[in-house]
Chains A and B, each alone.
Chain A
Amino acid sequence: MTLLVGIAGIGLLGPGLAGWAQAAPVLAGQAPYAPAPLTPPAPTLLPPTERRRTGPSVRLALAVAAEAVQDSGAPPEELDTVFASSNGEGQVITSILEALHTPDGAISPTQFHNSVHNAAAGYWGIAVGSSRPSVSLGGYDGVFATGLLHAAAQVVAGGEKVLFVAHDVPLPPPLGALRPTSESFALALVLAPGGARRGALRIEPCELPAPAAPTLPPGLGTLHDGNPVARALPLLSALAAGRHGGMLLPMLDDASLSVTVLG
C-alpha cells in the first residue's frame, strides 16, 4: 500500500547546515558544502529552569521542530507529533551509568526523568503547551525511514497534519566506541494530507536493502554515514533541487523505504 503525503514545512540543523533556507542551495548542489561545528541552540521556548535541564539531542529536536512548524504556519499546539531518534540523549544515559558504578550508586532524579526516550517529546509538549498525542520511537540506522513511515501512516490514517522530528547526536565515550556517530543532525517535517507547499512524497516499504552509498553533493557523504538521521540526505537533496524521482532509504538489513518525490 502506498502512502501519499505533502510536506508543509521543513526544519533542519547539521554541521554547516543552519536551517532550511541556508542549507537548501548546499543540498541542491548549487553552493559548496562547508562543514562548521554545530552548537545545539538553547530552547528559548522553554522556561529557564526547564531550559537548563535539556541536553544536546533534545535541544536539536526542539530547534528543528520550531523551524518546521513556523515554516508550515500551523499552530504548534494543534499538531500530533512523532519523534524518532536512534541514540536518544546519550549524555544523560552515560552519566547515569557512570553514577551507578560509583560507591554509593546514587543517580540524579532530574537525569533519570531526562533519560526517557520521549524526553524531547515531553519538553516539546511543555514548550508549546500541547496536549496532542505524541509517540517516540527508535530504529538504529533505519531510524529516519522508520519514523517517516510511521508519521506518514499517521497522516493517512488520521487525515491531519503531523509534526515528524528526527534527531541524533554522537554518544559520549565509552559507548561511542560501540555505536559510532560522528556528527550531530536533526530534521523536522510537517507532513500533511495530499500535497503541500514544499512538495509531496509517495512512500512504501520495500523488501530490498537500500544502497550503501547514495549519490550526494560533494562533501555530504561523511555526514550521511556519520549520523543515522542524516540517511535522510538523499531525500533532502532531491527536495532542495526540486528533483522528482524515487530512492530507497535504509530501514532494516533486509528492507528499505521507497520514497518518491512528486511535483
Chain B
Amino acid sequence: MRPLRITAITATSAMGTGLAAMHETLASRRAGLAPCDLPGMPDGVWVGRVREAEALQPPAPLAAFACRNTRLAELALRQDGFMEAVAAAVARHGAGRIAVVLGTSTSGIEETEQAWARRGQDGALPPYDFARTHDLHALPRYVRARLGLRGPCIPISTACTSGARAFLDAATLIAAGVADAAIVGGADTLCRLTLHGFASLELLAKGPTRPCAEDRDGISIGEAAAFALLERAGPEDAGRIGLLGVGASSDGHHMSSPHPEGLGAVTAMRAALDSAGIAPAAIDYVNMHGTGTRANDAMEDRAIARLFGDAVPCSSTKGWTGHTLGASGALEAAVAAVCIQAGLVPGCLGLARPDPSFVSGVVVENRATRVDRALSNSFGFGGSNCALVIGRIP
C-alpha cells in the first residue's frame, strides 16, 4: 500500500490520559490495573478503568449520546491537539472528504445493562436513546458530529480486532478515492457483558494479567479510546510516522479458540509485511495481541517465531492497560507510535522471564533502542486476525 501519514494520534486508557501519560507509564513500568470495584462484576478480578472519563458529559447539542463509551471517547478526543489537527484537515480536504471509521465491540451497551435493572413490572425497559448509545453506530456518529465531519461513517465490529481493522478499512476507503483522510481508531468500555462473558469462558486472571508468563492465568479487561487522523503521505513526509502496511485473515477454524498453530495469525502478519513491502528483518518491535490467556499467548509465540524466529523483540502491553477488546488494536497502534517516537521497546510487565516453552523474542524488561517500524497484532473471536505496520515513512 502507499503509506498513510498519521497526522495526529491520541489514546486514553489505564495508562493515562493522552500520549505523554502513556509514554511516562511505559517508561516507568507503572501498571494501570487495579482490583475491580464496579458493581455487579465477577468477584476478585482486576480491570483497567479510566475514572477520569466517568464524570464527563458530551457538549449539549450531543447530550443524547451520553453513555460510558461516549464519555471515554470525548475524553480521548480532547487530548494531544487531536481536534485542532482534524480542524486543519477539514480546511485542507473539506468535511465531506473525511471518513470516520471506528471499531467497537460493545459500544454503549452498558446503558442497556443499567436500563435492564430498571425494567417495569411488564418487563418493559425505561426510555433511553438506544440508537445513540447501545447501537454500534453511536460511536462513529458521535465522533463525526463532534468533529464537524460530513464524510462516510462506518462502525467496525470484528470483536477484538475492531480497532486495528478500522485502520485497514479506512486505508481501503482512501485507496478507492472515497475519502482523502479518515478518523480511525476505536473505543470500548467496561460492561457486565464482557466481564461475565470472559468469566464464563474461565479466561479472567485472578490478579493483574501477566502476558507471556509461564504461570499466566488469563485476561484483565480494560477500557480505552484511541484515535488517529490518516492522510495520504507526500514526499515531504519522509521520516514522519505513518501506517505502512495492513494485513488480515480469518481462521475459519473455531468461534472462540485460535488455530493452535496460529496459521491465521501468520497469514495476517505476512500480509501486513507484504503490504508494506518489507521483509521480517525490517521490523524492530512486535507489539503482541498477548491477552495473557494460555492458548492465545502460546499460539502467538509460535506464529511470531515462524516469521521472525527470536530475532525481533516482542511484548504485550496489556499488563499496563488490560485487554481493551475492540479498542485494543487502536490503542496499541498508539503504543507503537510512542515506542517509535521515544526509541523504546517495552518489556512485558510482572514477570522475571518469559514462558520457557516460548521460542520468539519475548522481552520482559524495557530496552532503549531505535525503533523505525513496529508490527502490531490483533486477534479476535470469530477467527478474525489483523496486523498493522506502523513506522517511519520512507
Interface-central residue, B113, B141, B168, B176, by most chain A CB under 10 Å: B176
Question: Do A133 and B178 touch across chains, with their CB atoms under 8 A apart?
Answer: no
Contact B116 A136 (CB under 8 A): no
116-155 of chain B: CB within 8 A of chain A: 116-117, 119, 123-125, 127-128, 130-131, 135-137, 141, 150-155
In chain B, positions 250-272 with a C-beta closer than 8 Å to chain A are 250-256, 263-264, 267, 271
Determine the chain A residues whose CB is within 8 A of the CB of B96 once the complex forms.
Answer: 205, 207
| Chain A to chain B: the 3 pairs with minimum beta-carbon distance, closest first | A122-B382, A138-B136, A1-B177
Give bound CA distance, A128 to B251, whole Å. 11
The stretch of A21-29, A147-155, A215-223 that contacts the partner chain: A147-155
The stretch of B75-83, B193-201, B344-352 that contacts the partner chain: B193-201
Output the nearest chain B residue to A155 by Cβ-Cβ distance. B176
Q: Are B192 and A100 in touch, CB under 8 angstroms? A: yes
Tell yes or no: B61 within 8 A of A by CB. Answer: no
Q: Is A18 an interface position by the 8 A CB rule?
A: no
A187 to chain B, nearest CB (A): 18
Alpha-carbon separation in the docked complex, A204 to B137 (Å): 20
- B255 touching A123, Cβ below 8 Å: yes
Chain A residues in the interface with B (C-beta under 8 A): 1, 3, 50, 53, 77, 86, 88, 93, 96-97, 100-101, 105-109, 112-119, 121-123, 125-126, 128-140, 142-143, 146, 149-150, 152-154, 156-158, 173-175, 177-179, 205, 207, 251-252, 254-255
B155 contacts A138, C-beta separation under 8 Å: yes
Specify which chain A residues have a CB less than 8 angstroms from the CB of B137 in the assembled complex: 86, 138-140, 142-143
- B248 within 8 A of partner (CB): yes
Q: Within 8 Å CB of B380, what residues of A?
A: 116, 118
Residues A113 and B255 in contact, CB atoms below 8 Å apart: yes
With beta carbons under 8 angstroms apart, the residue of B131, B154, B381 that contacts A118 is B381
* 12 more A-B residue pairs beyond the given contacts A93-B109, A131-B250, A255-B153, with a C-beta to C-beta distance below 8 A: A3-B176, A112-B193, A112-B197, A116-B158, A117-B105, A125-B382, A131-B267, A135-B156, A138-B155, A138-B157, A175-B125, A177-B124
| CB neighbours of B198 from chain A (8 A) | 112
List, in ascending order, chain A residues with CB within 8 A of B128's CB. Answer: 178
Q: List 28 A-B contacts (CB under 8 A).
A: A96-B193, A113-B197, A116-B157, A116-B158, A117-B136, A117-B158, A118-B158, A119-B255, A122-B255, A123-B255, A125-B253, A126-B253, A131-B267, A134-B384, A137-B154, A138-B155, A146-B152, A146-B153, A146-B154, A153-B175, A153-B176, A156-B176, A158-B172, A175-B125, A178-B128, A205-B152, A254-B150, A255-B150
Contacts of B113 in A (CB 8 A): 97, 100
Chain B residues with Cβ under 8 A from A156's Cβ?
176-177
Asked if A130 meets B382 with Cβ closer than 8 Å, knowing A136-B158, A138-B157, A252-B141, the reply is no
Q: Tell me if B's interface is mostly helix, strand, loop or mixed.
A: mixed
Residue pair B251, A125 in contact (C-beta under 8 Å): yes
Assuming the A-B contacts A125-B383, A134-B250, A139-B155, are A113 and B256 also in contact, with contact meaning beta carbons closer than 8 angstroms in the complex?
yes
B residues near A (Cβ < 8 Å) are: 40, 96, 105, 109, 112-113, 116-117, 119, 123-125, 127-128, 130-131, 135-137, 141, 150-159, 165, 168-169, 172-173, 175-178, 192-193, 196-198, 200-201, 248-256, 263-264, 267, 271, 380-384
Q: A147 to nearest B CB, angstroms?
A: 9
Chain B contacts of A157 at CB under 8 A?
A: 172-173, 175-176
Tell me if B159 and A116 are in contact (CB < 8 A).
yes
Whole-angstrom distance from the CB of B260 to the nearest CB of chain A?
A: 15
B253 CB to nearest A CB, Å: 7
A65 to B155 CA separation, bound complex (whole angstroms): 21
- A173 to B131: give the CA distance in the assembly, Å: 16
Nearest CB in chain B to that of A98: its residue: B116
Q: Are A137 and B384 in contact (CB under 8 A)?
A: no
Closest A residue to B96 by beta carbon equals: A207
B158 touches A121 (CB 8 A): yes
The listed residue (A139, A146, A174) touching B119 by CB distance below 8 A is: A174
Q: Min CB distance, A206 to chain B, in Å?
A: 10
Complex CA gap A142/B218 in Å reads 38
Complex partner residue of B125 from A137, A140, A149, A178, CB under 8 angstroms: A178
| Interchain CB contact under 8 A, B157 and A118 | yes
Pick from A100, A119, A138, A205: contact of B193, CB below 8 A.
A100
Take A109-B201, A121-B382, A122-B381 as given contacts and tell me if A131 and B264 are in contact as well, using a CB distance cutoff of 8 Å: yes
> In the assembled complex, which residues on chain A have CB atoms less than 8 Å from the CB atom of B169?
135, 150
Q: Are A125 and B250 in touch, CB under 8 angstroms? A: yes
Rounded to whole Å, the gap between the CB of B269 and the closest CB of chain A is 13
How far apart sit A163 and B154, CA to CA, in the bound complex (Å)?
18
Query: Would you call A97 and B116 a contact (CB within 8 A)?
Result: yes
**A153 and B173 form a contact (CB under 8 A):** yes
Question: B116, A132: Cβ atoms under 8 Å?
Answer: no
- Are A137 and B155 in contact, CB atoms less than 8 angstroms apart? yes
Question: Which chain B residues lie closer than 8 Å to A254 at the CB level?
Answer: 150
**In the complex, what residue of chain B is closest to A178 when comparing beta carbons?**
B130
Given contacts A106-B196, A131-B263, are A118 and B382 in contact (CB under 8 A)? Answer: yes
Q: Write out the residue numbers on chain A whose beta carbons fall within 8 Å of the beta carbon of B130.
A: 175, 178-179
Complex CA–CA separation, A143 to B383 (angstroms)? 23
Chain B residue at minimum C-beta to C-beta distance from A174 = B125
